Amino acid sequence: MKESTQPIPVYYLGHLVDSLASHSFPINAWLHNQGIQIERLVEPDTKISANQLDKLMSEALKLKGLEALGLDIGSRLQIAHHGTFGLALLNCENFSHILEFVRRYLVIRIPFIELTILEEDDRIVVLAKDTHWEGNLHRFVIEAVSGAFFNIFLALKQKIPELALESILFDYSAPNYVSKYDRFKGVNLQFDQAYCGITFNKSLLKIAIPYVDKLSFLQAQQACQQELDKLMQFSTYKGKVQQCLMQFQNKRPTLQEVADNLNVSNRSLHRYLTNEQTSFKLLLDEHQARLAKQFLVTHGYTVSQTAASLGFIDIANFRRAFKRWYQCTPTEFLEKAKKN
């Protein structure tokens, strides 16, 4: 697990506190050891560092009987607990709109989770990649995120009865408390997968969600954007570009497009990245190289499917880019992967 000083909103820390308090956990001492006052948890702009959060979670998970703490937190997080983020979800036009919104704004609620949306024949696969946590902390976060998303799904199902998840995927083995996963009723749970995520039928994407209020959505989205802008103020331009690149799927964005997204000129963005000893081309290559490996090896995409998913119109350009990234062709890379 990488150490990180990235500021993190304490939006859900209160639910963690409530869960621990029900187990007679010494809350005040636990927070005090990380320099956090419990009174500050109700202040909207309070943030803690990722390292502080990691230490808090590690200490909590040491307590006997709290192995399934992530599931408990997830079950507590109803859609109303997500604030303007939840309000926006309830007023999205369809499920496709929801996925795009979550992919853009998830970072204001939980950092270090990158979403990738894939189409596989008649189903959609939403991948959740944890870029920070490992081991028990990774499982804790995935359990909490899965539980929270399942509650969002249940809230939407009240509006759309035909809404159904096919499966929830976990990249770890079934824990010894797997019986507690029965809260995900009616969904196929798959452990020991190459990735975490959910799958559902593609036909659900465009089903209109009834009784949405477009004005409420726009107001909620505006509030979420303001939160995102505040959060990004603490980030380097390298971090801002990396976050922005996650919003572009099935295309290879230009420097101008990313600069426009960040509300700076392309010349200024180039200068900021140079001052941070990096470049837009390097960050874009790192991002697409990682996705290319994921699509080819983990998901079994063909070379042409992978090229299209990354926004390459000409497959020859993709092959050249891939060889620059990995010093071999995609076919050679796959052969090496199979041997290993």
Residue pLDDT, tens place only, 116-141: 888 888 999 998 988 889 999 999 99
In order, the DSSP letters of 243-276 are: HHHTT--SS---HHHHHHHTTS-HHHHHHHHHHT
Cβ-Cβ contacts under 8 Å for 181 (sequence gap 6 or more): 71, 174, 189
Please state the rounded mean pLDDT for residues 53-76: 90
Query: Residue 214: its pLDDT value, please?
Result: 95
Residue-range domain boundaries for the chain: 7-204, 250-340
- Residue 159 contacts residue 89 (beta carbons within 8 Å): no
User: What mean pLDDT is reported for the chain?
Assistant: 89
DSSP 102: H
Confidence of residue 3 (pLDDT cuts 50, 70, 90): low
Least confident segment among 43-52, 123-132, 210-219: 43-52
Residue 62 falls in which region: left (phi positive, over 0), alpha (psi -120 to 50) or beta: alpha
b/e for 293-317, b at 16 or more Cβ within 10 A? Answer: bbbbbebebebebbbbbbebeeeee
Q: Give the CA distances from residue 181 to residues 39, 174, 315, in Å, rounded to whole numbers and listed in that order.
A: 33, 9, 43
Percent of the chain predicted with pLDDT > 70: 98
Helices 266-275 and 280-293: crossing angle in degrees, nearest 10, is 80
Query: Residue 5: its pLDDT value, please?
Result: 61
Which numeric CATH code is attached to 7-204?
A: 3.90.1520
Query: Residue 145: its pLDDT value, please?
Result: 94
Q: Which residue has the higher pLDDT, 47 or 92?
A: 92
**Do the domains spanning 7-204 and 250-340 agree at the CATH topology level?**
no
- pLDDT higher than 70, residue 28: yes
Strands 167-169 vs 188-190: parallel, antiparallel or unpaired: parallel
- Residue 4 contacts residue 49 (beta carbons within 8 Å): yes
- pLDDT higher than 70, residue 4: no
Query: Within the chain, where are the H helices?
Result: 13-21, 27-32, 50-61, 69-76, 84-90, 95-105, 135-157, 214-233, 237-245, 255-261, 266-275, 280-293, 303-309, 315-326, 330-339
The CA distance from 104 to 232, in Å, is 13
Q: Say what the pTM is.
A: 0.81
- pLDDT higher than 70, residue 334: yes
- Residue 154 contacts residue 77 (beta carbons within 8 Å): no
179 alpha carbon, distance to own chain's centre: 26
Angle CA(136)–CA(240)–CA(257) in degrees, nearest 5?
130
* Beta pairing partners, 47: 9
Percent of the chain predicted with pLDDT > 90: 49
Q: What is the pLDDT of residues 10-27, one digit of tens each?
A: 778 888 888 898 888 899
Tell which CATH classification among 3.30.465.10, 3.40.50.720, 1.10.10.60, 3.40.640.10 matches the domain 250-340: 1.10.10.60
Q: What is the pLDDT of residues 65-75, one digit of tens each?
A: 888 999 999 99
Q: What is the pLDDT of residues 97-112, one digit of tens each?
A: 999 999 889 988 888 8
Query: Residue 1: its pLDDT value, please?
Result: 58
